[in-house]
Structure 1
Amino acid sequence: MTIKKFLKRTLAILLLLLTFLFIYLATPRVTNTDPKFQTELIYGDPIDTTIKNILTPKKEPKRTRSIVILQNEKIIYEYGPTDKIMNTASIRKSILGILYGIAVDRGLVNIKKTLAELKIDESIPLTNQEKTATIQHLLMFKSGIYLPSQGEHDSQITDRPKRESYKPGDYFFSNNFDANALGTIFMQETGMSIGKFMEKYLAIPMGLQDFSEQNVILGDPWFWPKKESKHKQYYIYLSTRDLARIGAMIANEGQWGGKQIVSKKWVAQSTISYSNLKENHINYGRYDGFGYQWWLSSDTNTIWADGYGERFLIINPNQNLTLVEQNFTGNSLLTTGLWLMNGNMDSGIESLIKAHDLIAK
């Protein structure tokens, strides 16, 4: 073979490999669906111009942002691509809390069961004390289990207490062990994947517009260095309009469109505070309480879900009001990598809070 032919063949192989690599990097984790069960949201009277001006950015934000506000199940404000599915990050935990409520209502789960009874362990074996933690303790972030877990970051690592420094039920600490183990337990006890259960018992009865069971991914779909754990992180992808619909259901005591999706009892039980965060040595900012995977603010009587990448769900049951902001943080290795390189964490949360306060008045 001549040098010229060798170089041509080598170049062709390199181009082919680069093409495959680009396809791999650009392939989205999940794609938008058009489910047969979807129902359109209804529009209500729009918010007044003053509040609209507060919410609408003066110039286009540096990344894709969408906002939806619902009151009495009707859209009163929307901005951006509200149908675009996005990684909800830690908002996933609040959604799983709702699914637990549905499972409890159906007699599939007993939240008083201990990890020992459930035969739940970890790669670093749990101690006898740690195994006395119940599902309820995990829902409250009071398991007393302080081990490395998938997807943890920042204060979850730096502020993690020493093992067995607190007994289950004694101390609040927001950690991914509790959240990820809840995913493992949920699938074990219901006999269904999180995605399948969510589609059957939440998406279909609520008529979510952009959801299918494939919107929930268990474990990272690509090769990433992971912390060894028996409990995989789960990802839930939702459009902003679907996330707002779920929040509005909680605002209305578990009802949507006249249907009881999750019991009033569970909504009440899961949205009261079991922890005084003002007495906690870690500063949790605007939140002073925590329920079953819900952050709480007593100053405004609001319920919050909060996800990495500056995404927020604010629920005001007294006003039957729900406000959602989502920011696109990627849906493939390529788009996620570009977002991480950009380091863009801009948020409209202060505007969202101001808008909430004005609407609530």
Structure 2
Amino acid sequence: MRWGPVARRWALALILAPVIARADAFERISPEDAGYSSEKLQGLKAFLQASGSDSLLLLHDGKVFFEWGDIHRKLLVHSIRKALLSGLYGHLALSRDLDLSQTLDQLGVDDEPLRLSPAEKLATVQDVLQSRSGVYHPSAAESEGMSQRRPERGSHPAGTFFYYNNWDFNVAGAVFEQWAGRRLYDVFNEAIAQPLGMLDYHHRIGALEGPADVPTAEDDGFYQFERSQSRFPAYHFRLSAHDLALYGQLMLAEGAWKGRQLVSADWIRRSTQPRSVVQAEYGLAYGMLWDVVVPARAGEKPAFFHTGVDVHLLAVYPERKLVMVHRVNTDGPYKFNEGDLYQVIRQVHGARGP
């Protein structure tokens, strides 16, 4: 059978359609061009395969020099949601001064079924963003381990003690929506996802009314309510490695993208300063909605990152112009663990040339 020119063009379009749909704005370069060893990174691929990773994406100065797995598979980001919220606050900071000294009492923040005490209402927005509110109220999306480790109510005054607290993070989302006057998902879509050109985020937002509810795989985000614990929902995101890397690159570029300032550079610097030392022996601290690596030398910019259930990772290393994104399919059973993630990070850094 002989095809005419029109038929040939249609056939070619059908063949190329999947490729075109997966095209992205990232330029590809060799590991050597980024200062890494191809041979060592080849060994990393074998480890990713054996350990049960879903994808790994490495960028140097905005250019991909390593990719493995399905970088367009949309997965729950878990606690990386907090780092996404930080960017939303940073976007809001472009148009207004954020008074982080405002207290929960001034903002009219209270909870139910258990109410906040007058002392708890003295916590400021900055305390909440730093997870130092001193409010140890049950919360939505709180794991069993977090619930067991939660300090007693009233045991620490506001601003005096760091505890990785989902109540704080959920309230941070509610305060953002109060200040913005809109759903945080709508702001994320219009102010960050669309300008960055995210390919796999389609702004389909749902809501769960209890811990037994299961989100659909099509949801790009959803509120998780557990009203028997708290009136404040957790706000979850589902993003691909590709789209999460775009966000990481935006953070590396101090909020600037194609001539536009999407997130305040000052906010990114402020939120990624070490404020609460978490593991002094490893130089790990917490800033505002970001984990921070305390710089080894004066004058260096701190690296900052966030993990999700100890297997997902978004990490930004400004001194190396490096963005690292690792994903695992945690929608079902998985074998990848925290130790495997440490091994991935070590192998990436170990593949760096002299």
Supply the distance in 2 between the matched residues of 1:191 and 1:108 (Cα, whole angstroms): 15
1:41 aligns with 2:41: no
RMSD (Å) for aligned C-alpha atoms: 2.6
Q: How many residues align?
A: 310
Supply the distance in 1 between the matched residues of 2:188 and 2:248 (Cα, whole angstroms): 15
Aligned pairs for 1:1-361 (under 5 A) are 40-46=25-31, 47-58=36-47, 60-61=49-50, 63=52, 65-107=54-96, 109-123=98-112, 124-214=114-204, 216-219=205-208, 223-224=212-213, 226=226, 227-278=228-279, 286=282, 288-298=284-294, 301-308=302-309, 310-330=311-331, 336=332, 339=333, 345=337, 347-359=340-352
Letter in 2 for 1:146: Y
TM-score (norm 2): 0.80
| Change beyond 3 A, Cα 1:322–1:217 | farther
Cα shift readout 1:183-202 (whole Å, capped 9, x = no counterpart): 11222221211211101100
Supply the distance in 1 between the matched residues of 2:266 and 2:309 (Cα, whole angstroms): 29
Does the residue aligned with 2:247 lie in a helix, a strand or coil? helix
How far apart are 1:54 and its partner, in Å? 3.6
Q: Is contact 2:310-2:341 (8 Å) kept?
A: no
Cα shift readout 1:280-314 (whole Å, capped 9, x = no counterpart): xxxxx856211111111226642111101511112
Cα shift readout 1:143-171 (whole Å, capped 9, x = no counterpart): 11011111112542222111111111111
Q: Is contact 1:69-1:75 (8 Å) kept?
A: yes
Supply the distance in 1 between the matched residues of 2:126 and 2:162 (Cα, whole angstroms): 12
Supply the distance in 2 between the matched residues of 1:265 and 1:59 (Cα, whole angstroms): 36
Cα shift readout 1:64-122 (whole Å, capped 9, x = no counterpart): 51010011111111000000000000000111011111112222853222111111111
User: Partner of 2:218 in structure 1?
Assistant: none
Of 151-160 and 131-140, deviating more is: 151-160
Letter in 2 for 1:43: R
Supply the distance in 2 between the matched residues of 1:359 and 1:293 (Cα, whole angstroms): 28
Q: Is contact 1:218-1:233 (8 Å) kept?
A: no
How far apart are 1:316 and its partner, in Å? 0.4
How far apart are 1:353 and its partner, in Å? 2.9
Structure 1: tracts of 5 or more residues without a match: 1-35, 280-284, 331-335
Supply the distance in 1 between the matched residues of 2:283 and 2:140 (Cα, whole angstroms): 24
Supply the distance in 1 between the matched residues of 2:253 and 2:264 (Cα, whole angstroms): 11
| Change beyond 3 A, Cα 1:191–1:219 | farther
Supply the distance in 1 between the matched residues of 2:346 and 2:129 (Cα, whole angstroms): 26
Structure 2: tracts of 5 or more residues without a match: 1-20, 214-224, 297-301
Runs of 4+ in structure 1 deviating by more than 6 angstroms, as ranges, are none
Q: Is contact 2:311-2:336 (8 Å) kept?
A: no
Of 103-112 and 122-131, deviating more is: 103-112
TM-score (norm 1): 0.78
Cα shift readout 1:116-144 (whole Å, capped 9, x = no counterpart): 11111111100111111111111100011
How far apart are 1:52 and its partner, in Å? 1.4
How far apart are 1:220 and its partner, in Å? 5.3
Q: Percent identity, please.
A: 25
| Change beyond 3 A, Cα 1:78–1:178 | same
Supply the distance in 1 between the matched residues of 2:252 and 2:66 (Cα, whole angstroms): 17
| Change beyond 3 A, Cα 1:59–1:182 | closer
How far apart are 1:359 and its partner, in Å? 2.9
Q: Is contact 1:217-1:236 (8 Å) kept?
A: no
